[in-house]
């Protein structure tokens, strides 16, 4: 969702703000703006559309020497994505500028009150109401920080908000409530941002703000206070191990392609330190879980791609881990009043660790007395901090809005969790063959990816004119069918539906015609005859079929379809790790061939921090 960057230090702020905003582009946005000090006044520049439009406007602004400023990329919630709704927003009279990520739920009530006091508003946003409210509180408050806190205490909802006001030159204030915000502490300079990549070239020393905290930043100095009573809060500075290369394109045309191609390394990093060798063979070692009992029942909760990873992992958790496992979409979970018993555990999966619905599900589970395991990628994210135990996927920053390597790492970790619980139930490893297969994944995948990329590109050209697509799979491949369809939809805007192969004849098959191709995942050797029958049903209705299959005894299986995509033979679980990048690469190349904005698809945000 919206990207936030603030800076106070010794360098010209505007170029740093723009650089930070570029690094936050992946979060998704439709307009952008900056505010900085020009002498004793505030200069605000904003533009609808991409950052290039803002940069063009800034070229015409003379003498941008400010060393403090704030910048924002907006993903529209209240009001159209037009310039007047772009942030920063100003208080009445223009003395205070703020940027905001989140939703002020009682904004209408506050707006009515301010309108009655004679305020006039220039935008349709809840953020402008907050800016005016701070200005109004400033009349009664002792100082600017106090006014900021007083206004925020009246605002209900979620926010990460940063304020700049020439009343205190060179100072920025920041506050957080249920939306991500952290500080990057450099030498003689401090950044505040929605996410680490925004300031990664300058510092890896990070202070994570908590809900209900306010930070005051002035040059290289910073302090944190409680929103409730402005009492000082002790914070620790954490070092993040991410490096710049991990957040750069590394010679690839798009972050998405880079992130797909780095999956062998991602699996390796996810396995790192989690497998030990003893006389009796390899064992999975997940120390984070050692202090918790083996759950009687596990509830997996997640959204989007993370949900698909959970669906994929459920079968392993039940069969290998021996744990009855339920699965919910996070936005449904909290509203269906789930039956949770204290001896159950909840496993929330989230790449960003900030997805609002997943975070709310975590809180509900904890309220009901369940222990929560967080499976996250982003260090220090809200879910990582609020879960009883966090297992990091260790995939490095995922910049492309479309999630790729995150799912690969989530699947790896889910397989390890299943093996780990299997081990806790029996002294010996639950499934040594599976563990060996998982350990062999980096090499298997690295060997297969170059040819897969070529095949995906060729298929993309042939099938990019389709208006709709089916993705079919059974067993664990059903989860991958959902993921394949999600990727195609979000990247190329081609309608796609993922279905359990056996469900086709219960209705969807009516849609099949020569213009509605099917991508069939036919990798499961045990279920192959069944999937083959489902494919025949599609072919009998003149449907075009791409079948993703694996070799058996060095040969392609017996199947007559328009396109057969043959992957190397692999362990049944390992085959999923080959199928996943095949699906990702196909969607990537279709979208690229169609000229779509691959890394920032329209209407999407990388981390969905509102309900």
SS3 at position 273: coil
- Which residue among 401, 435, 448, 538 contacts ligand M6R (CB under 6 A)? 401
Q: Which residues of 446-462 are buried (b: 16+ CB within 10 A; e: fewer)?
A: bebbeebbebbbebbee
Do the beta carbons of residue 176 and residue 380 sit within 8 Å?
no
- Least separation, in Å, of the C-beta of 474 and ligand M6R? 23
Spatial separation of the C-alpha atoms in residues 84 and 31, rounded to whole Å: 10
Which span sits near ligand M6R by CB under 6 A: 49-57, 243-251, 344-352, 446-454?
Answer: 344-352
Which span sits near ligand M6R by CB under 6 A: 105-113, 297-305, 461-469, 471-479?
Answer: 297-305
- Least separation, in Å, of the C-beta of 255 and ligand M6R? 12
Tell me the CA end-to-end span of the chain in Å, nearest whole number: 11
Spatial separation of the C-alpha atoms in residues 129 and 116, rounded to whole Å: 13
- Least separation, in Å, of the C-beta of 304 and ligand M6R? 2
SS3 at position 278: strand
- Which residue among 73, 92, 125, 355 contacts ligand M6R (CB under 6 A)? 355
- Least separation, in Å, of the C-beta of 186 and ligand M6R? 27
Distances (CA, A) of 220 to 146, 184, 288, 435: 21, 10, 36, 49
* Closest residue by beta carbon to ligand M6R: 304
- Please provide the size of the chain in residues: 611
- Least separation, in Å, of the C-beta of 125 and ligand M6R? 23
> Going along 105-204, which residue ranges are E strands?
157-164, 171-177, 182-185, 190-193
Please list every residue from 586 through 605 that binds ligand M6R, using CB under 6 A. 604
Which span sits near ligand M6R by CB under 6 A: 67-75, 97-105, 303-311, 333-341?
Answer: 303-311
Which span sits near ligand M6R by CB under 6 A: 50-58, 271-279, 345-353, 474-482?
Answer: 345-353
Which pairs with CB-CB distance under 8 Å and at least 24 residues apart come from 54-63? 54/18, 54/21, 55/18, 58/14, 58/18, 58/34, 63/38
Q: Would you say 69 or 180 has its CB closer to ligand M6R?
A: 180
- Asked if residue 382 binds ligand M6R (CB under 6 A), the reply is no
Do the beta carbons of residue 189 and residue 219 sit within 8 Å?
yes
Q: Would you say 137 or 354 has its CB closer to ligand M6R?
A: 354
* Contact map string, positions 452 to 491, toward ligand M6R, x by CB under 6 A: --------------------------------------x-
Do the beta carbons of residue 204 and residue 239 sit within 8 Å?
yes
- Asked if residue 303 binds ligand M6R (CB under 6 A), the reply is yes
Size of the site for ligand M6R (CB under 6 A): 16
Alpha helices in 393-475 (DSSP H): 405-425, 432-439, 441-463
Q: Is 606 a catalytic residue?
A: yes
- Asked if residue 352 binds ligand M6R (CB under 6 A), the reply is yes
- Catalytic center residues: 2, 606
Binding site for ligand M6R (CB under 6 A): 303-306, 350-352, 355, 358, 401-403, 490, 604, 607-608
């Amino acid at each position: 969702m919206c990207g936030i960057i603030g800076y106070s230090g010794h360098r010209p702020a505007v170029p740093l703000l723009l650089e930070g905003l570029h690094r936050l582009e992946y979060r998704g946005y439709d307009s952008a703006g900056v505010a900085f000090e020009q002498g004793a006044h505030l200069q605000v520049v904003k533009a609808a559309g991409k950052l290039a439009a803002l940069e063009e406007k800034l070229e015409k602004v003379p003498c941008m020497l400010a060393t403090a400023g704030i910048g924002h990329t907006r993903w529209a919630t209240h009001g159209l994505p037009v310039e007047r709704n772009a942030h920063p927003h100003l208080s009445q009279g223009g003395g205070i500028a703020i940027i905001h990520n989140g939703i002020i739920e009682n904004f209408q009530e506050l707006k009515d009150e301010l309108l009655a006091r004679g305020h006039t508003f220039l935008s349709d946003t809840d953020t402008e109401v907050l800016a005016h409210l701070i200005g109004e509180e400033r009349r009664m408050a002792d100082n600017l920080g106090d006014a900021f806190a007083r206004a925020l205490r009246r605002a209900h909802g979620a926010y990460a908000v940063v304020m700049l006001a020439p009343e205190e030159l060179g100072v920025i204030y920041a506050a957080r409530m249920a939306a991500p915000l952290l500080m990057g502490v450099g030498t003689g300079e401090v950044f505040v941002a929605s996410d680490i990549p925004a300031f990664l070239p300058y510092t890896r020393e990070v202070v994570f703000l908590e809900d209900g905290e306010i930070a005051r930043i002035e040059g290289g100095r910073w302090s944190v206070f409680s929103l409730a009573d402005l009492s000082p809060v002790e914070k620790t500075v954490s070092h993040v191990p991410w490096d710049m290369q991990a957040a750069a394109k590394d010679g690839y045309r798009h972050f998405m392609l880079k992130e797909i191609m780095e999956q062998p390394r991602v699996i390796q990093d996810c396995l790192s330190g989690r497998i030990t060798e003893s006389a009796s063979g390899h064992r999975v070692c997940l120390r984070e879980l050692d202090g918790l009992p083996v759950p009687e029942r596990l509830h997996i909760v997640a959204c989007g791609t993370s949900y698909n990873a959970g669906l994929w992992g459920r079968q392993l958790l039940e069969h290998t881990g021996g744990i009855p496992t339920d699965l919910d979409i996070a936005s449904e979970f909290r509203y269906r009043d789930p039956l949770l018993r204290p001896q159950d555990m909840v496993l929330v999966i989230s790449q960003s660790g900030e997805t609002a619905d997943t975070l709310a599900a975590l809180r509900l589970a904890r309220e009901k007395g369940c222990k929560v395991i967080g499976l996250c990628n982003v260090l220090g994210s809200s879910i990582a901090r609020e879960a009883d135990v966090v297992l990091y996927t260790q995939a490095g920053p995922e910049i492309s809005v479309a999630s790729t390597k995150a799912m690969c790492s989530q699947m790896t970790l889910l397989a390890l969790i299943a093996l780990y619980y299997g081990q806790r139930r029996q002294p010996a490893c639950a499934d040594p063959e599976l563990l060996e297969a998982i350990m062999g994944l980096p090499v298997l995948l690295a060997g297969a990816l170059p040819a897969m990329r070529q095949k995906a590109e060729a298929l993309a050209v042939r099938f990019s004119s389709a208006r709709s697509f089916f993705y079919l799979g059974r067993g664990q491949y059903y989860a991958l069918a959902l993921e394949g369809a999600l990727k195609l939809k979000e990247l190329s805007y081609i309608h796609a539906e993922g279905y359990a192969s056996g469900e086709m004849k219960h209705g969807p098959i009516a849609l099949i015609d020569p213009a509605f191709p099917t991508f069939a995942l036919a990798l499961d050797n045990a279920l192959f005859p069944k999937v083959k029958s489902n494919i025949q049903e599609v072919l009998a209705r003149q449907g075009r079929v791409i079948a993703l299959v694996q070799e058996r005894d060095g040969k392609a299986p017996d199947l007559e379809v328009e396109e057969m995509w043959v992957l190397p033979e692999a362990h049944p679980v390992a085959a999923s790790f080959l199928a996943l990048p095949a699906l990702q690469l196909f969607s990537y190349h279709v979208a690229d061939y169609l000229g779509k904005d691959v890394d920032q698809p329209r209407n999407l945000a990388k981390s969905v921090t509102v309900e």
